[in-house]
Every structure is written in C-alpha cells, then in structure tokens.
Structure 1
Amino acid sequence: MRWIGVVAAVAVAVGLGGQAVAAPGGQGAAGVRQAMGEVVAAGGVGVVVRVNDRRGVWVGSAGARELGSSVQPLPGGRFRAGSITKTFVATVVLQLVGEGKVRLDEPVADHLPRFGLDRRITVRMLLQHTSGLFNYTGDVKADGTPDPGLPLWGREYVDNLFRTYEADDLVRTALAKPARFEPGARYAYSNTNYALLGLLIEKVTGTEYATQVERRILKPLGLHGTTLPGTRTGIPGPHARGYMAFPENGRLQVVDITRMNPSWAGAAGEIISTTRDLDAFLTALLGGRLLRPDLLAQMRTSLPTPVPGEQIGLGLFRNDFAPGCTAFGHTGGTQSATSYMYSTADGARRIEFSITHGAIDPFDPATRQRFEAAHKKLAATALCDE
C-alpha cells in the first residue's frame, strides 16, 4: 500500500492516446477524445475506453497508469468492474429460470429459509431492486440522512483492506436493519439483493455462484480477461493503479488500494474484466445468445428509478443518454474505479470504459457532481453523437 498524501498539486499527464483498431472518424471521435480528457480533468487518474459504432472499433486511453506518472493506461488492461457483476449474476439466474430450477415470482425464502426472509420477497424483486431490504454497504433513512453499513470508506476501510466477509454475514448485516419499505412497493438499489442471488444460485446448483458464471458465460464466450476473485487481493494481468480519497485531519488523503480483498462485494460487485470482454458479454446477451427471447424480454422490461431518464430491468438498466438515444447496460463503482458497459437497443453503438479514481473526495458534492457529469458525458458522446 502506497500513501500518496495531499494531492492538490499532483500533476497527472492528460495525454490522449491508445491503440486504434479501426479508428472512428469525424466529429464523434473528436468528441470522445475530448470527453476522455474531461474525465481526467474532473479527478480521474486514467481512463480506458472501447467504442463500437458504424465506423468500426476503437480502443484508447487518457491520463496515467498511476499518480505521478506520464505513462498512459493500457487500453486492454484489466480493472475492477464493480456492480457490472450484477448483470452476469442476473443472466445466470434467468438461465436457471429457463431450466425450470427457479421461478421469478416465487418466494426467495423457499430456497434460503435460514434467513427468515419476508415471504413476499420474490426472485424478481431481488433482480429489480424492489425487495425493500437494507443495502449492507450503506443506505439512506426515511428522513434522508445516511444509514451506514459496512465500513467501506476512509481510515476504517484502509485499516481493513484485507478482511474477508462471508456472503451470509453480509445478508445478516442487512437484515439486522429494518426494511426500507414493503416488498414490491418501489425501487431502491441494494447490494443485499445480489448477495442473496449469489447464495440462491449456490443453493440451486450445488456449486459456488462464481463457478456458474464461469461455466455458463466466461468459458463459452472466451472471456479470458474476466475473473471472479473471491478473496484474492490482486488484479491479474496488466492494470492501472486505483486510489481512494478521504478527508482526514483537515487534509485530503489519497491511498493506493489497488490490492484489496473484494469479498465485501461478492456477487454484488467483485468481478474483474476488460473493455473487450464486457463488450463481448453485452453483445452476446442483447443478441440473444445467452437467454431465451422471452427471458431477455423480461430482463429488459423496466420500471423508473429516481434518476431522470433511467429505468431498471432485471439486472439491466435502460438509460436515455440523450433525446432519442436509449441504451441498455450497467455501471459499476468501487472505491477506486467507475466503469460503464452500454449498448444502444440495436447493438449498433456500444461503449465500455473504466476510470481509476484520484483526488475525488466522495464527501464533497461539487467534486462528485463534476466527476459524475464527466463520465456521463463520455458515455453519451460515444452512444449518441454522430
């Protein structure tokens, strides 16, 4: 672990470059390059991007592989993709539905009686985040104030980077808190839902959920750059370094957390991947290679979320990135990275990217909003601009 200290004056290279496979031309390409630079200027150390459109495929990077370096990230490098894991898990669950081993509208308690879950909570509700279960990584009370979960930020997290969490313990942490609302009443994103889905897969198949993801998705699609690390702390293969910033004693500290135990994320967000692999997965999924047509249609059937222009299906978001520009996919966020995986409905335009965090203070609204606006602009530029 490397301590970086206060980084207000740290100079990070913002060169734009990469490996062009079939470089897109015109205004769209220039816009993507500009948006990549804005991501770095907004607090990202580096970003790796893959764009597919009618002109072909382009992969590139901006920024630096690590703080204080001028070496750009490798466009094909690996990264922690966070909650994009959920789309893989949802795909396996829907495959099990297709095999008659799981029913979408059956009580989850029938499969996992040890938790004493409300019998109104169904498999569909877990997939679509309508269960009402407390989010074990932290939630919000009815009055809008924070309701902490696991210690995943700041000094307490840094001091426990290599702690191992069991999935049962994550669920029990959530169940120790009151439900947010009645099952099915509304939407509220909760990692607890997918911790339970991972355990559901294990109960139904008799193997770890990661084994099913590997057998059903990674191996058939040849996703050799994608792994489910469990408790392994490193990122295999080439990768950029990731950082977490937090205020301490009046200073913004930035800590290298590239190596960490991802068991706190589990089936809700542990996956490591590449832009190439995420593109291959999303293309296969939306193209009907992984699910029956009726199950894919249910996965894409969505309901509104509190975010304008965003809806949620079964492990798949539908976003209106611009008027007339709708895309399906998922985002992922860890303490050290933000990732996107999105495709237009017809599959003609797709983008996958991952940003390593730098001096982004999660408790400063202005900094956070500027960073969020930059990565949303990058996605919209690739998917919507000509």
Structure 2
Amino acid sequence: MSLVEDLEQILDVVVRIDPSFQAVEPGIVEACIRDVRRDALAEKEGEFLLSAMRLLALPANGHTRLIPNDAISVLPLRFVTVGKSVFLTKSGAVPSNSPIRKLIAVNGIPVEQVEAVAQSYLAGTPQRKRVVGPILLSWPLALSHLGAASAGDTTSYLMQDAEGQADTMVVDNSNIVPASQLYPRNEHGQMDPVWDFKTLADIAVWPGIGLSVCLPSFLETDDNRLSRSIAKAAAQLRSYAAVPLLIDVRGNTGGDFLKTLPLIDAIAESSNKRRCAVLVDKFTFSAAIVFVAILKHRLGRNLILVGEEMGDGLKFFAEGGSVVLPSSGAVVRYSTALHDWASGSIDRTTPPEVAEQILKVGKLEIDRHWTASPQHVESPAETYQRILRELH
C-alpha cells in the first residue's frame, strides 16, 4: 500500500463527506491538499501525517481531525495541559516516583513559542487544541517542523518543579514507544494515560454536605451499560431531592447525550429544592457539552458552572465516524451533521432525533473558575466536598 491510498480516503472526507469544510475558503483547502499530495507522492509518512493534520484542521471543528496516535512513535513522555501550562505527568525516561513538573522549553525554545506554531496543525477551539496538542511535544519529527528541532540525536526539555527549581531532561531520540501507549485517541486529561473508571455514573453521599455524581463517559456499550447506569443514577437522585448536588463531567469526551435525558429530568425535578453545580474542564467535549447545555437551559440560575472553559463551543459539526487510513494506520475523524445549541438552529444535516432536542442556549459562561494543580494533588473526594460546602 502507498500513502496515495491514504490521500484518496482523506480527499473523500474533505471534498465529499464533511460539511464543515463548506465554510473554508476553497483556495486555502486546495493549497493544503497540494502539500498533502506532495508528501504522499514522496512517501514521507511523518510529513504526510503533519500535512494531513493541517488540512483537516481547517474547519476549526474539533470533531474533524486527523488522529496520528496509532501511526507514530514518540519519546516516552506523557505531557498534559493543565490550565494553560503543560506538565510532564508520566515518563519512561525518568524514575516513576519523579514529581510532576511543568514544561518550560523544548530544545531551548520556549514551549509557548512551539505551541503557537503548532496551532495550524490542531483542530477545534483553543481549548481543544490544548487537549490534543501535547502529543506533538514528544514527537521528534513534529518538533522539527515546529521550530524546535534537535541539534543532534537527543531532545532536551527544560522542566520546573513545584518550588520553581529548573532542570534539564535529555532524552535519546531513539528511545521511542508507540504513541498510543501514552496518548489515548479519546484524550481524557488524566495524569496516567489509562483511565479505568468502574462505573459510568458514580454517586457518593457526603453526610451533612450533599451528593456528588461522577459521569466519566457517555459512550454506550453493547450491554447498554450507559443506559442502565443513567437509570440507576436518576432513581438515586430522586431519593436525595433536597441536598446540594455536584455533577462531575471532567474528562468526559462525549457519546450519546440522548441516553442521559432521564438523568437530566431527575435533576430538573428537584432543582427548586437544592443548589446544583457542574464541574467541567477542557476535556469535557461533544455530548458532555450538550448535557451541560440542556441542564443549564432547564435549571437556569440554579445551576453553577465550576471549572474552566470546555473543549468546544455550542455550535459544531459531529456525528460522522472514523476511517483508518490503510497505509499509515492513522485515523481520520469526520463529521456529517450540524449541532447548533447556541442559536437552536438546524439544517438538512441535523439528525431528526437531535433536531427534536435542539435548544437555544446562547452561551455557557463559567461561574467559578477553578483548575486542579497537578503538582498539589487533591483527591476527587476532597474536591467534591469542598465545592459542595460552598453550595450551602
């Protein structure tokens, strides 16, 4: 197989399938296609993937993108953006007990400068780019295109610990691992790449304080695990109708928001009897944002948004699916349908079942800005109890 076959799959998405490209100036699309074609014909796989990332990022739609994770190898370093800073959270290049440290520079180039050049390769909003961008910081080939090329056979990282002390970590460029080991395709933002949640709706009662429900994912399973979890959570919430409620959708990259409607109904039924808050972050995406939007529409001022700006706006293209490129193994995520929860508009691409639920939400403003510090770890229980106390 050749990269030309991958190119054909990408062009099918760009030219024929994905409606988000209709808003992009045709000349810009054609210029990017020429770059992708050039690299495909030269069989330069890494450069081809980067060119394709830039092409698929043109609509600024977070659901439409090239995901290189399964096709590339990276240095054994997991970087995650917390707030607006990048932190090294897990590494095979340093002892496992090393503290989490902030990234200051790569090969002598300030990380902010590298991130600025990376913007054109990353899809979606600025927040979404902070979600998917850190993988580029451990990919030597990408660094060479972002103005932070290695001078020799190693890559150096200037790091800073919690006390402000800086030190340099040097990694041999031959010390690489499959990127998917450190960067999951559905990036959730946890310190460890493997996030093994036991339940899709984890409810905890904090005596004298309130109730919390953690919703890590809205992806349905073959055994209808999501539907069953939502039904159980809705029943439990109705049993505690008068205590403060905190809903945690941090790291929830979405799924099927229609399956969550029974839970929204249960929350709304008692919204005049208690104070409610929802905890969000940049890794709250897609159907999880829709969940928050509907909840805010139903509860109004009775719902407080805590955290940081979410990973997308209220208008985006979604649905669609994924294509595995036959030669490189990279994944193309494409969209087919408009979701506009800002104005409540629909068009011919909006699925009927979604159109029935569309609401004019306007904006989702964060009421209380808060971001957890990775260097001063607070357990979820501590976070929940602290926020619930503030609701009293």
Give the structure-2-normalised TM-score: 0.26
Taking structure 1 as the reference length, the TM-score comes to: 0.26
Structure showing greater radius of gyration is 2
